Chains A and B, each alone.
Chain A
């Protein structure tokens, strides 16, 4: 079983024969066998050399970097090995044909919306009064088919999220003062958690796309020019309610994270190291959580669900089966 490695300490990371060696500032050496590595996330201040990149390239391991404020800043993405010319042509074709592009964009929004509803219904059954919000979101989703315009489709997604975020003060039993989503920089605890975990999920999805023949820069809901790997943004939308939002609810409702776990300075607020480690650990555990897949008839992890979503897209692009977004079924 391959694992994701998260590096919080400062120091050096290098190649040692056929392993990766991590030397921290306080002199601790740690060797990681290359076969055990799925991907690496670097939060600390680390120096590295080209010999390391070489071994990462040979083993097709993606390296993700985060800055001081835990914002995702980029990845070392080894040269693409899985290239299928015919899939690429078809992937571009679905972007070029605006009707087909809208069809896919609507599916991403529908998938995200259905999963958001699933989260709201869960809390609705546990004593919260969310009937009105559920009706509003269902109404928004039912208008989706009417729009043949990416801007309008994105607008619906924005409206759904606005209603959804409006409920968070009631879902979370801490005093969180969460008014609305603010991104650059996030102004309070919840915004900061959303931004951080969304970017973690984004980078995880980049790792998954890298394992397939899909081209990460051709996207449908988001504009392909905005970010380098915008297909990852599209796919991430569907999994945010399952992976990110539920994790935030759990962390805050169990009191594992609170206001005291953040520093604030002029550039927004920043997680304390201990809290950062806890969140990353919980995030990793969540991705490893398995469920019985009703089609494949075996246990699959949440992380693998993302991969399966990419396989569904491949099937859509090669004309095998029309794409249906992932919907939480349990």
Chain B
């Protein structure tokens, strides 16, 4: 389950970012996971909890935002959410579009309590 590896990376990155505010305490980490990132959000949530339980990070809140697959229409430039791979453009119905979003595996923000 590679969600454990990813959870580890998230925890490490969150701590590194929080450490930029000297003496602060990490309280929340915002993560964005795209539908095509190959990450199971439930498994990731489980891994984050399992890895922080009983540590100093026990009450850090991990906020996971899921990002759908988005395509940009090559005819009218509309960016639209598409569940299937071949959905036509939601504005003009064109069937030619390119993938522009849905692969996110991003650390969006950290929230810290200052000393």
A and B: interacting chains: no
* Residues of chain A at the chain B interface (Cβ within 8 Å): none
